[in-house]
Structure 1
Amino acid sequence: MLHELRIYHIHPGKMQAINERFSKHTLGIFAKHGMRVTEFWQDVDPEHNRLYYVMEFENMETRDQKFAEFRNDPEWQKIRSESEKDGPIVDKVESVFLKRVGYFS
């Protein structure tokens, strides 16, 4: 199993916008494409302005396929465009790919 930790660096003043986009739209579109989010966090220090979440995939090939489907989804493209009419929400996205160690369950 492959886990991806995604770290979103949010533009100042846009944390509410990213949380609304995820809660009202993005998570549903992820589910439509069989993409599973296992955890979500927001940085407690508002100066850091970061959102973190973990996704679970069978392997890297499946992950790449699912994200390609997601990025090309007309619903996602419309939502992203509408939510960014006043400027971009996300400054930068980092991905860290992880696998569970055998000695911890």
Structure 2
Amino acid sequence: MLYELRIYTIYEGRMDAIQDRFKEHTFRIFTRLGMKVVNFWIDATGQNKIYYVMEYEDMAQRQSLWEQFKKDIEWIQVKRNSEENGGLIVEKIDEYFMNQAEFFRLGN
């Protein structure tokens, strides 16, 4: 398995907008496209950041799924609508790709 940690830096005053977009639309679109979110966090120190981890079979599947997502008609409309009145939401996205260490297993 391949895991991707995605860290979004959110523009000031737009945290509610990103949370609403994920809660009301993005997770559902991900599910429809077969994209798996392992977990999702909001920064605990007050930074305008969200963090989430996605799981893929491999990098080829990851690339394919994200290409589908970017071209998805519903996603394009949701993004446009969510940015219509308040402007851009996401300032920066950092992506980190990881494989689970063979010597680590949950429950140890």
What's the TM-score, normalizing by structure 2?
A: 0.95
Q: Counterpart of 1:22?
A: 22
Deviations 1:4-45, CA, capped at 9 Å, x for gaps: 000000000111100000000000000011000001001112
Matched, 1:5 2:5: yes
Q: Deviations over 1:45-102 (max 9, x none)?
A: 22x2100000000000000000000110000000000000121000000000000001
Q: Which runs of 4+ in 1 moved over 6 A?
A: none
The share of aligned pairs that are identical, in percent, is: 43
Q: What corresponds to 2:60 in structure 1?
A: 61
Q: Cα RMSD between the aligned structures?
A: 0.5
The one-letter code of the counterpart of 2:72 is D
Report the counterpart of residue 69 of structure 2 in structure 1. Answer: 70
TM-score of the two chains, using structure 1 as the length reference:
0.97
2:39 is paired with a residue whose SS is strand
The alignment partner of 1:52 has SS state of: strand
**What's the counterpart of residue 100 of structure 2?**
100
Corresponding position of 1:36: 36
Q: List runs of 5+ in structure 1 lacking aligned partners.
A: none
- Matched residue type, 1:36: K
